[in-house]
Structure 1
Amino acid sequence: MKKIILILSLFILSGCVDPFLFSYAGGNVIYDMAYWEHVDTKEKAPLKTENDCFDKVTKNNPFSRDKYGQCLYEQGYRFRTSNLLYCFWYMKEECKDYNKFR
């Protein structure tokens, strides 16, 4: 039993096995790590605000993270993550695109 725990621990620490695979809602946990926070009130952006920006950006155009981030940024929201692993492990490209809106 100790050998199994040791081997499993080594796989997790080496990055060969994602620890979120063991949780029921792994994918949702990862996506909940990133959010848009208002500069003054420190509240998360309401879904309506995010949807309005999404609709504005995609109107007759393909989705662009740059334009979407700019829309939220202009309304006073900043990109935040609740876990450092989000940018360094899971969603590198998204963070790369949104870093200028922090």
Structure 2
Amino acid sequence: MKNLIIILSLFFLSGCVDPFLLSYGGSHLIHKMAYWEHIDTKEKAPLKTENDCFDKVTNNNPFSRDNYGQCLYEQGYRFRTSNLLYCFWYMKEECKDYNKFR
């Protein structure tokens, strides 16, 4: 019994259990793992800032992650994730596009 508890604890601590837990919570939990953090204040980007960049990028143009990331980057925000599995398991393409804005 002690070994089982140790093994389960290691799975929880390593994040290996996340895919099973998140499958019940939906994709909105996965998308909340990524955020934009200000380089000086370490605060997450306000929704208004993200929306302003989105509006600027999509003004008569199709959405581009590169332009969106560049807009936030120029305002002092950096792309961050709260879970290591986000880039390796869930959203590989998004991370590939935003890695230059870390």
Instruction: Mark yes or no: TM-score above 0.5.
Output: yes
Structure 1 stretches lacking a partner, 5+ long = 1-14
Equivalent in the alignment of 2:27: 27
Cα deviations across residues 65-100 of structure 1 (Å, max 9, x unaligned)?
Answer: 000000000000000000010000000000000000
Corresponding position of 1:58: 58
Trace 1:12-91 onto structure 2 (pairs within 5 A): 18-19=19-20, 20-21=22-23, 23=24, 25-91=25-91
Give, in whole Å, the separation in 2 of the partners of 1:28 and 1:61.
26
What is the letter of the counterpart of residue 40 of structure 2?
D
Residue 99 of structure 1 aligns to a residue whose secondary structure is helix
3-state SS of 1:78 partner: strand
Counterparts of 1:37 and 1:60 in 2: how far apart (Å)? Answer: 27
Count of residue correspondences: 84
Question: For the aligned residues, what is the CA RMSD?
Answer: 1.3
Q: TM-score, normalised by structure 1?
A: 0.79
Q: CA deviation at 1:26?
A: 2.7
DSSP-derived class of the 1:35 partner:
strand
TM-score (norm 2): 0.79
Letter in 1 for 2:67: K
Partner Cα distance (1:67, 1:95) in 2: 14
